[in-house]
Structure 1
Amino acid sequence: MEYRELKVNLPKELSDSFYELLDTLQCAGYYEILFDGEAPKEKDQGLIRDNTNIRIYLQTDEIDKELKILIFLKIHAPSNSNTESRNIETRDYEEAYKEYYKPFSIGKKIWVIPTWEKNEPETIQLWKPNGGIPLFINPGVAFGTGHHETTKLILEHLDELYDRGKFPFLSACDVGTGSGILSIGLAKFGVSKIFALDIDPNAVKAAWSNWTENEYPKGFQFSVEESGIDNPKLSNTKYDLAIANITYAVLSQNIRHLAKIEAPRIIFSGIITDKKDQFLGLLQSHLPGKLLYSKEWNEWWVLDWLRN
């Protein structure tokens, strides 16, 4: 089977709105390359790039989606973006991102390890001698490599709660699970029952696959479904904790469904600085409570909300 691969280079400040477009288009997959030694050097570029490189994958007959991507770039970055495209085989598509995805640490204990390196002696030496907690992840085409600020902020917060002995959660729901990385982190910290969901069928497959790559104590239960926030399992089942790494646009549109989630505590990420106060206002109106913790990184926020 063939896919259409687009190599896009665009200004970093446009990446969030570009990701929203890609989510709307429901591409087969996309990922950001954090470092690309083969990418052409930009004009007047210093050591750190002002642009970012994104790989996008479409079905070969999705010409309309490719045109919408090109129109976005033409409108928003006519002089400082570029694209390349080609058709590739399924095998090339599945292996492409592996070159850029290496083990890295988050917080005091967490190590995110690519599944294809989990048994490598050099990789094991990174986390095991110091009592690290490995999250074995093959991100594939789902959001959740662990590199994005929103994912890191939640994992760092969970790691800190666990380190301070303030992690009383036995059940949780993961709304917008992506690759499943946050669910796996919850499980490694002792959550024994997890329900995850995502509207992207590729994410559901990735989350389940990643779940099976990791080991947990006996008795752990994990289920994942292709679904939106209106899933009745969120409102008909009680959870100790809910996590939602989702953009403000989606959260605000689904605030009434969020209010029905049967969890006294919800950790949100995906909120940018410009929308933080608006979102806190929405929470106070629809899920009255108080903010226990917040932290910002590159204008992204994690918010730990305790409901009344």
Structure 2
Amino acid sequence: MIELLLLAPEDIVETVSDALSFELDALSVSVEDADADTSSERALFGEPGMPAPRPGWQRSVLRALFQNEEEATEAATLLLAQDWASDVHVQSMSRVEDQDWVRLTQSQFTPVDITSTFWIVPSWHETPAEAQTVIRLDPGLAFGTGTHPTTRMCLRWIARQADALSAQWSRVLDYGCGSGILAIGAALHGGKNIDAVDIDPAAVESSIANAKANGVELRAGLPEAASGEYPLVLANILATPLKLLAPLLCGHLEGGGHLVLAGILERQADELKEAYAPWVQLEVSDSEDGWILMTARKATAT
């Protein structure tokens, strides 16, 4: 296998990447900051689920893999012949040893402890000895593998509250379910009649498959599948959609029920409190790495 390294300026990184991937038949393309580990390095991150603030770094290195040297040479020649590619430069072309890419990818995902006894474990790993409750979950198309602080905080809340509250969880709504991880976590901790809904059909399929793999029952569907009121409503999305969804989520929350929201940065707490104030009083219940978990209990009708 041959690795072609190219240097490209910020404004054409996406164009170069697309050309390599879709027109020049690269097996894979990755993009890195050419100034990483120098004084010129700069961060390029947006909030999860949102686009990055810029299309690329000021100078980016593109690593493209090809099956053989002939294909890599032809790709470089065709690319550099384009008028718009005058600022693209070939840095190197070298042979890379074949690897077990599946095993390499799997090695990046290890068991995640939610509490000392509640773990998220990929299917290829042994269950840790201390794990009493386990969600088997592999990386997939839908968001939610247990590695992000927002997911961990939601699951931690479920696990810690289950002894006192699970008897009340006769219905559970996981709104924006992604992989279905929160719905599965609720089911494993005593929740019943669980609805997991998402606007993405891939998330619905993922939730169904993951529930089956974990031996739990839930109903997964598009948002219109949610109906009536629930004593527990979970939503791990992002602050902006959570604000817009305030009337809907609170409308699904029964009197005395608990609302659990995540995907919120610490600086966004007051915005969420204000958005939900007509229905419930949100409070910060947990925090991790700049993210917060906000929860509320809806008053019972008098």
Native 8 Å contact 2:118 2:134 kept in 1: yes
Match of 2:50 in 1: 20
The gaps in structure 1 that reach 5 residues or longer are 22-68, 118-122
2:218 matches 1:222: yes
**Which residue number corresponds to residue 142 of structure 2?**
142
Contact 2:135–2:185, Cα closer than 8 Å, also in 1 = yes
Shift of the 73–107 alpha-carbon distance from structure 1 to 2, 3 Å rule, reads same
Show the counterpart of 2:55.
73
Aligned to 1:7: 30
The reply on whether 1:113 has 2:121 as its aligned counterpart is yes
Q: What is the TM-score when the length of structure 1 is the normalising length?
A: 0.66
In structure 1, the partner of 2:231 is: 240
Judged with a 3 Å threshold, the aligned counterparts in structure 2 of structure 1 residues 269 and 3 are, in CA distance, closer, same or farther, namely farther
**Match of 1:15, as an amino acid?**
F
Give the AA of the match of 2:242: L
Choose the corresponding residue for 2:297, options 284, 293, 306. Answer: 306
Which protein is bigger by CA-based radius of gyration? 2
Report the alpha carbon displacement of residue 269 of structure 1 after superposing the two structures with TM. 0.4
**Taking structure 1 as reference, are residues 284 and 202 closer, same or farther at Cα in structure 2, changes over 3 Å only?**
same
- Which runs of 5 or more residues in structure 2 are unaligned? 1-24, 34-40, 68-99
SS in 1 for 2:107: helix
1:249 to 237, 240, 249: 240
**How far 1:222 sits from its partner (Å)?**
0.9
TM-score when normalising by structure 2:
0.67
* Counterpart AA for 2:114: I
How far apart, in 2, do the equivalents of 1:136 and 1:223 lie?
Answer: 18
1:27-72 per-position Cα deviation (integer Å, ceiling 9, x unaligned)? xxxxxxxxxxxxxxxxxxxxxxxxxxxxxxxxxxxxxxxxxx7x93
Deviates more, 1:101-110 or 1:182-191: 101-110
Q: Check conservation: 1:108, 1:159, Cα contact below 8 A.
A: no
| Partners of 2:235 and 2:262 within 8 A in 1 | yes
Alignment of structure 1 residues 177-188 onto 2, 5 Å: 177-188=177-188
Amino acid at match of 1:20: M
* One of 284, 294, 297 as aligned partner of 2:277: 284
Which residue identity lines up with residue 178 of structure 2 in the other structure? G
C-alpha distance in 2 between matches for 1:206 and 1:154: 19
1:144, 1:151 within 8 Å by CA — same for their partners in 2? Answer: yes
The answer (yes or no) to whether the contact 1:139–1:206 under 8 Å persists in 2 is no
Q: 1:189 deviation in Å?
A: 0.2
Cα distance in 2, alignment partners of residues 200 and 262 from structure 1: 23
- AA aligned to 1:137 is L
Partners in 1 of 2:165 and 2:147 — Cα distance?
25
- Do residues 209 (structure 1) and 209 (structure 2) align? yes
Amino acid paired to 1:283? Y
